[in-house]
């Protein structure tokens, strides 16, 4: 019964995380587009009112006119809409899932003794230290280099995240390292909202209400962190779906794959942001950020391509093939079927992962291609909880490379 309620907690947590994540990223993308698409107002009354830019749009059968003031309107309107619950709820639901899956079942999803033999408390403590430390280091860099050099700041932040990606992959399972890396970036993003963007906006509203001059530093800091957040989005979204693709987190150089995918995502997002400002360059947008991102993606795809081998079987002896398949099925039954059965017997699994069944010859043959990826990358058995030996792994892989004869 506990497994049943655990599954519902996981399902509802993921659903909430997805809904609020869409709302947060959607709002972020919209306001970055809006800010970069503003044109100087043409009407004199708007200029006199302090409007610095406006944009016209049509959507859902209606026309919209969005305006941005250079500082603030003469009188604060009511109601004044704020955008922060999406960020907070996304992080809270994500942290709930992190605790439920990766901390609550650290021995399954987070710890890999083949990478580093960590105890559960130590693994969780290090993970929490990464979440807090990532924000602290990033925030110090932003404050120290504020209004000095965004390019240098960007390179330093990229270097810090690269080191974090490498370190996490030396400590945890590939799956766990990738999720924690995404959690580090997600924590930075929501901390930007909580500690910088919203407090700055509140101070601007208070200053306006009290008749004090507005300090432009709050707007500048908020804009800086908002732009950073939009560049973080594609790497975070990649991490959110990465646990479905063992070829990435299970690669030998999985930390390098993680860094490359992050660079590709950030470069592609940079290109989209530049497109919003194309009107400032006569409608032209440099293709180089997009090209760079696609080249990096192509490089990752090429590097992770499976190496095909030549079968050593030649003309197969049916009796020998049957005996070989029986040996392979025996290994799978002992090391894999405890989870990949209609009713798993391994604690913590109420259903076979991803719905993959390996309990019959037909199921084994139907999943041969997927098995080869999972076994080659060593992500299965997960955390090697069933203690598959290297010899057993190689026996199954050799059989798969030879075309899965039976």
Cα distance between residue 150 and residue 173, in whole Å: 34
**Could you give the residue ranges of the DSSP H alpha helices within 38-119?**
44-48, 85-97, 106-109
pTM exceeding 0.95: no
The per-residue pLDDT for 190 is 98
Q: Decide: 153 and 161 in contact? Cβ < 8 Å.
A: no
The per-residue pLDDT for 314 is 44
What phi, psi does 55 have (nearest 5°)? -145, 140
Q: What count of residues does the chain have?
A: 406
Instruction: For the chain, list residues with pLDDT below 50.
Output: 314-315
Where exactly are the structural domains of the chain? 2-36+84-265, 38-73, 318-401
**Tokens for 64?**
């919209």
Q: Classify residue 398 as exposed, middle or buried by CB count within 10 Å of its CB (0-12, 13-18, 19+).
A: middle
The per-residue pLDDT for 171 is 97
The per-residue pLDDT for 315 is 47
Instruction: Establish whether the linkage from the previous residue to 155 is cis, with ω within 30° of 0.
Output: no
**Tokens for 80?**
């004044």
Cα distance between residue 306 and residue 32, in whole Å: 39
**Tokens for 2?**
């506990």
Q: Among 2, 65, 11, 74, which residue's Cα sits nearest to residue 39?
A: 65
Q: Among 196, 202, 260, which residue's Cα sits nearest to residue 227?
A: 196
Cα angle for residues 383, 388, 393 (degrees, 5° grid):
110
**Could you give the residue ranges of the DSSP H alpha helices within 278-344?**
288-303, 318-335
The per-residue pLDDT for 119 is 96
pLDDT digits (tens, 9 = 90+) for 330-367: 999 999 998 999 988 887 777 888 789 999 999 998 88
Q: Could you report how far apart the first and last alpha carbons of the chain are, in Å?
A: 39
């Amino acid at each position: 019964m506990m497994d049943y309620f655990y599954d519902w907690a996981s399902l509802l947590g993921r659903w909430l995380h997805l809904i609020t994540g869409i709302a947060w990223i959607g709002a972020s993308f919209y306001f970055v587009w809006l800010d970069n698409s503003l044109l100087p107002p043409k009407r004199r009354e708007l200029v006199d009112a302090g409007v610095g830019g406006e944009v016209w749009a049509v959507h859902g059968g209606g026309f919209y006119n969005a305006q941005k003031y250079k500082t603030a309107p003469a009188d604060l309107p009511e109601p004044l809409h704020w955008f922060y619950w999406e960020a907070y709820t996304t992080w809270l639901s994500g942290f709930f899932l992190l605790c439920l899956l990766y901390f609550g079942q650290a021995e399954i999803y987070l710890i890999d003794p083949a990478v580093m033999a960590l105890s559960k408390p130590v693994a969780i403590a290090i993970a929490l230290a990464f979440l807090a430390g990532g924000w602290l280091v990033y925030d110090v860099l932003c404050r120290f280099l504020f209004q000095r050099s965004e390019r240098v700041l960007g390179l330093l932040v990229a270097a810090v995240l690269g080191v974090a990606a490498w370190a996490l992959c030396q400590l945890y399972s590939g799956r766990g390292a990738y999720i924690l890396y995404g959690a580090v970036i997600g924590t930075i993003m929501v901390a930007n909202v909580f500690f910088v963007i919203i407090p700055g906006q509140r101070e601007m509203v208070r200053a306006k209400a009290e008749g004090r001059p507005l300090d432009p530093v709050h707007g500048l800091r908020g804009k800086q962190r908002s732009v950073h957040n939009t560049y973080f989005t594609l790497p975070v979204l990649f991490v959110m779906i990465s646990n479905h693709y063992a070829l990435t987190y299970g690669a030998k150089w999985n930390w390098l794959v993680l860094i490359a995918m992050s660079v590709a995502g950030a470069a592609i997002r940079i290109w989209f942001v530049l497109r919003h400002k194309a009107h400032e360059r006569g409608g032209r947008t440099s293709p180089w950020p997009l090209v760079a991102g696609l080249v990096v993606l192509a490089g990752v795809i090429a590097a992770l391509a499976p190496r095909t081998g030549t079968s050593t079987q030649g003309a197969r002896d049916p009796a020998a093939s049957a005996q070989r398949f029986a040996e392979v099925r025996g290994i799978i039954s002992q090391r894999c079927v405890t989870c990949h059965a209609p009713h798993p017997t391994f604690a913590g699994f109420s259903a076979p992962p991803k719905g993959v069944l390996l309990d019959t010859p037909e199921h084994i043959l139907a999943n041969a291609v997927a098995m080869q990826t999972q076994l080659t990358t060593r992500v299965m058995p997960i955390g090697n909880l069933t203690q598959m030996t290297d010899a057993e792994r190689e026996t199954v892989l050799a059989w798969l490379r030879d075309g899965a004869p039976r």
